[in-house]
A and B are shown apart, each in its own frame.
Chain A
Amino acid sequence: MKLSNARRLFASVWGILFLLYFLDYSGTLPPSTAWMTRWQWIPAFLSGNVLVLLGLGILSIGFGRLYCSILCPLGILQDLIYRIFRRKTKPLRYLAEHRWLRNSLLVFSALGLLLGWIPFVALLDPYSIFGRTCTHLFRPVFLFINNTFADDLSKGVNYALYEVPIVYSGLFAGLITAGSLLFISVLAMQFGRLYCNSICPVGTFLGWISRASFFRPVLNTETCNRCGKCEKNCKSACINSREKSIDISRCVQCFNCLDQCPKGGIRYQFVRPSFRNLLGDLPHKTAKPAQSPSHEFIKTAGAIDYPKRRFFGTLGALSISIPLAKSQAVLHTASKRTTPIAPPGAISHSHLNRHCTACHLCVAKCPHQIIQPAFMEYGMEGILQPTLTFKNGFCNFDCTLCSEVCPNNALQAISKTEKHRLQMGRVKLDIDRCVVKTDRTNCGACSEHCPTQAVEMIPYDGALTLPRIHPDLCVGCGGCEYICPVQPQTAIYVEGLTRHQQAKEITKTEQIKVDIQDFGF
């Protein structure tokens, strides 16, 4: 089998499974598919997964940027976009390296990772970009189709396939996701892997490693007649047929070039790494300076009208900010909560903010769909990171799914027993707005839902009962806030904690033994 076909086969299977993993709402896929999200560079680094880092490291030293072609879901997506939407009239060509851009972004990202300022990394991490694209774009479309056919296909209850309400995740997440995808898609359509080679910090990092990699496409300078067929088919724009050279730091090991040379002049070969290779090609004079890709892009786009662009840009930014703020309010049903609630396993806001790259896998997986992306609730250091909202549901007392799936360990896996004692937030009650007081009517919905009876009903007036809260017992599940019939701002709600705590243990009372011999009537 040709190497390029082997690559296509592996990448297709991996890519499809990856997408399915995000879409799988019923847990039908085998549990091992969860590993795909962990065999990613930035998640492995943030979760301190030494095994994966070693494994990926060995893969990269052996085979250069092979990760970019067969393991990176965003890379696979770009290859698909390129294949379907490429402009066949305009062939690819060698482009100069955006050296300053890619390296400065790598430096900023590395600083961010080390110092704990993650949002910058979150916006650039390819796995997280793909994750958000799946959660906010592919998933709603998939669910729409699913819901149309779920009833017909399942005929009763089918635990693999059933109707799932489509929940709106807010304008902010939608915009960032759509914006990133649009930007990357346009680059992919026109230039192949330009994002990977000029912006992606993982790509740049691997580019440095690949300079010392053992196996790589090598151009035979003797047989090469500069026909340029390889260059015209290189998605990484890294083959300079004029100079008869391949910039290995940008080669994503797709193997397409191997099939192109009519003289068999490009071979996949073992190369003994040398120190010089590590530093990369020193800049040298060429007969004709290569065009920078940004210039290419602008030329094709047409003449630029700067004042007009500035005006529309500002207008656009202003018109977005108000609906943005409003949509976040809608998401949180105008809850009185001022401190956001971090999902189970987050340990603290600080831990979450320092480890989460907002891939939104937890958002996609939560059975009640109560995990939603934050806007500014955590501040700038937590944009797009998950927070709980009790508009559509509450946190199931026994459920630990989000903490199990997080590949960054921003949400660290916890057991069911630990979950029962975990306090993510504390209950608060506006007793004067409770319907028992205002309408003198028996409600009790809050206590009905409380798994720890952190809110219990106590005798009030006659047969009326009033809720009384015990915040120490509260786990912050939001059952009370979810069901409270007082709208739009519920009378009972959960206030978030910046650091998760332990709830007070439920006092175990003795089990009553009854021996009833009669009916009582």
Chain B
Amino acid sequence: MERRFFLKALATTGAYIGLSSRGALNVFGQKTKPSGDYDLVAVLGGEPAEMFRKGIEALGGMKKYVKKGQKVVVKPNIGWDKTPDLAANTNPELVGEIVKQCFKAGAKEVVVFDHTCDHWVNAYTNSGIQAAAVAAGAKVVPADTENYYEEVTLDQGISLKSTKIHKAILDCDVWINVPILKTHGGAKMTVAMKNLMGINWDRRWMHRNNLPQCIADLNTLDKKPILNVVDAYRVMQSNGPRGKTEADVVMPKALFLSSDIVAVDTAAIKFFNQIKDMPLSDVKYLKFSEQHQIGTMNMETLNIKRIKI
């Protein structure tokens, strides 16, 4: 009896250690990835809020990412002066739901912003994100002038070695990256990694000095997003990132969640390949990011949960 008990205990402990050692464990606060069961969750079908709820539940609940009393930033894509149906910005319903869940998990404050390409007042309003975020209790802040930003060094940067980052990111406890899946004229695809350009001040410099490398460099920022949520409810499949007409939009109704930003980008682009051809090798920042060891493109090594609604 004692031996069986001992063996069982050994097996259970061993299994626990084995499972919990999965994923990077790092001492510096934000970098600590909660050891959940799944590395990536993909949801297909349903409406954005419902999809997020199912997705976050599968990851282990919002409480794994947002602790009580924390200051959180939810950073969607609000780049363009376009309405939600045109898929240029993140779905406002999704943003609203994420903000709501943050508060439910005990967040003290949730801040929402983006360094827009179009005029920020129009983009914030017409995207519907300002309204959705405020309705859920978030504080929406501008990001259109340089004084909102602070210089930060990127020690691992190859091209981009220092840059100005929005103070809301630097001041918060954790932040959630919420991009929308779109094609991109220069970078080929814009997903989670590229969404970090919205916390950055000088876009032109990045375009000038090897954009894909700069995107990868930017993602070596110490304060990495605790969670990435890729909105693929609507997807811009041509003429991205701004879009020309409604014909650029498709509605596959998908959602991808992961703390591994490279993994979630890889998953999203693989998903996109069902709509249009997009070889992963063309999206150079993926390769560069692996070199920085920010995450993995190798889907085989990931524990993935697939949910169909």
Interface residues of A (CB under 8 A from B): 26, 155-157, 159, 162-163, 165, 367-368, 393, 396-399, 435, 439, 441-445, 447-453, 456-457, 463, 465, 483-486, 506, 508-514, 516-521
Contact = CB atoms under 8 A, between A and B. Distances in A.
Nearest to A163: B145
Interface of B: 42, 44, 81, 117-119, 121-122, 124-125, 130, 139-142, 144-145, 147, 184-188, 203-205, 207-212, 237, 239, 241-242, 244-247, 249-252, 254, 266-267, 270-275, 281-282, 284, 299, 304, 306
B244 A506 contact: yes
A509 B246 CA distance: 9
A444 B211 CA distance: 9
A451 B241 CA distance: 10
6 contacts: A165-B145, A439-B210, A441-B208, A442-B284, A452-B244, A508-B245
A511 B249 contact: yes
Contacts of B266: 521
A511 B122 CA distance: 26
Nearest to B204: A485
Contacts of B251: 514
Contacts of A516: 44, 252, 254, 271, 274-275
Contacts of A397: 81
Contacts of B205: 485
A143 B252 CA distance: 46
Contact of B119 (A367, A444, A484): A367
A443 B122 contact: no
B239 A453 contact: yes
Q: Which 6 A-B pairs have the closest CB atoms?
A: A444-B186, A485-B208, A447-B185, A444-B185, A485-B204, A521-B270
A157 B142 contact: yes
A96 to B, nearest CB: 55
Contacts of A514: 250-252, 274-275
B208 A157 contact: no
Contacts of A456: 185, 239
Contacts of B242: 448-451
A434 to B, nearest CB: 11
B179 to A, nearest CB: 15
A463 B281 contact: yes
Contacts of B144: 163
- Listed residue (A163, A445, A518) with the most chain B CB atoms within 10 angstroms of its CB: A445
Contacts of B211: 441-444
A521 B188 CA distance: 20
Given A451-B242, A483-B117, A517-B44, 19 more contacts: A157-B140, A157-B142, A163-B142, A163-B147, A368-B119, A393-B119, A398-B81, A441-B210, A442-B210, A456-B185, A456-B239, A506-B244, A509-B245, A511-B247, A512-B237, A513-B250, A516-B271, A520-B271, A521-B266
A29 B4 CA distance: 81
A443 B185 CA distance: 8
Nearest to A518: B274
A365 to B, nearest CB: 13
Nearest to A515: B252
A362 to B, nearest CB: 16
Contacts of A465: 185-186
A159 B210 CA distance: 36
